[in-house]
Structure 1
Amino acid sequence: MILGLYEAHLPVSDLKRSIEYYKGLGLELSHSHDDSLAFLWIEKNKSWLGLWETNKVELEYHPSIKHIAFQVSLNGLKNSVAWLNEKGYEPREAFGFKPVEPFVMAHNGMAHAKIHFNDPDGNSLEFICKLENPKNMSKRMYLSEWEQLNELN
C-alpha cells in the first residue's frame, strides 16, 4: 500500500528566506500560497517539503518534530561537510559526533551514514544514506573508520 514519503512540513519564521535556503540545498520551488506556505520539490514529481510561515517556530527540539532527513548518495555524503560549509550552512554535532565528517549508526544488520545541520529556524536537517553492513556491526563511528573496518576503501 505505502510506496514512500510524499511530503513533510516544517514551520519557518521568514518564508522568503527559507525558500532561498532550501533552494540552496538543491530543492526546486514548486508553488506557494498566500505568502505563508510554499512547497519545494525534494525529488521532482515524487516528494516535496512544505514550509509554513508562522510565529510558532520556537518549539523545543525533539527528533519527532522539526526534523527532515534527505537521502543522498554515499559520494554525496562523503563530500557533504565541505559542500555545506561552502554554501555557508554549518554542519552540527549529533549523537556525540563532531561535524568533521559523516558518522555511521549501525544496528540490527543495518547501517546508515549521516551528517546533521539546522536551517535558519533551528529545524533539524540530515543527509543520510544506507550502507551495507557485511560484518553485522552494531556500533557508532565516523564513516572513515567504518570503511576501514569493512575494508571498503
Structure 2
Amino acid sequence: MRLFEQHLVVSDLEKSAAFYEGILRFTLGFDAGNIRFYWIDPSRRSMLGLWQRGKADSPFGPDPGEIIRQHLAFEVPAEQFEERVKELKNGGIEVVDFFGTPTEEGSVHPWVPAVSAYFSDPDGHVLELLSILPGPSRPDWEPMSGSEWRRRTAGE
C-alpha cells in the first residue's frame, strides 16, 4: 500500500492555490469551486486536495470549518534536494532543519536514512521535502545535519 491522497483545510483557497501551484509546482487536476485537487507528481500517483474553510461541502461529512495544522512530507529525488530547497528560499519561504534552524542542507534522519527540510504553507501546515539517502538505516544515531551525515558516512 501507499498513500494516494491527503486533504488540507485552508483559510484562503486562492492564496493556497498560488503557493501550491507557484512555489511547489503541483499541477491542478480538478477545480470543484471550493475544493481543488492537485497532482503532486507527474506520474499522477499522489494527490493533494485543498478545501476552502467554511465553504466546501463534502460527501465525506460536514464541512470541517476549522483549520487543524497538519504535517505532510513530499519526496524528491536526492539529486534535486538542495536545488528544491534553494528554490523555496528564493521564493521567500523560510526553510528550517529538524532542529528549527534555517538551513540549505537539511537534516538527516539516520533511522531511514533520509534528508529533510521543513517549511510552512500559508495556513501554517508544516511541509517537508524529503529525499531517501543511500546506505543502511542507523536507528542508533540521532538526527544530524547533512554535512555531519556526509562526514560520518564518507568512505563507505
TM-score normalised per structure 1: 0.82
Q: 1:51 to 1:135 in 2, by over 3 A?
A: closer
1:27-85 CA-to-partner distances (Å, cap 9, x unmatched) read: 0001111x2100010013211100011054443x4xxxx11110011122123332111
1:73-118 CA-to-partner distances (Å, cap 9, x unmatched) read: 1122123332111112221353x241223000122xx311100000
Q: Distance in 2 between matches of 1:43 and 1:74?
A: 15
Q: Is the 8 A contact 1:99 1:115 kept in 2?
A: no
CA-CA distance at 1:132 after TM superposition: 2.6
- Structure 2 gaps of 5+ residues are 55-64
Q: Percent identity?
A: 32
Q: Distance in 2 between matches of 1:16 and 1:31?
A: 14
Q: Is the 8 A contact 2:96 2:106 kept in 1?
A: no
Q: Which residue of 2 aligns with 1:144?
A: 147
Q: Which residue of 1 aligns with 2:128?
A: 126
Q: How does 1:13-92 map to 2 (within 5 A)?
A: 13-24=11-22, 25-33=24-32, 35-44=33-42, 45-55=44-54, 56-59=65-68, 61=69, 66-92=70-96
Q: Distance in 2 between matches of 1:135 and 1:73?
A: 18
Paired residue total: 142
Q: Distance in 1 between matches of 2:13 and 2:110?
A: 36
**Over aligned residues, Cα RMSD in angstroms?**
2.1
TM-score normalised per structure 2: 0.81
Q: Which has the higher strand share?
A: 1
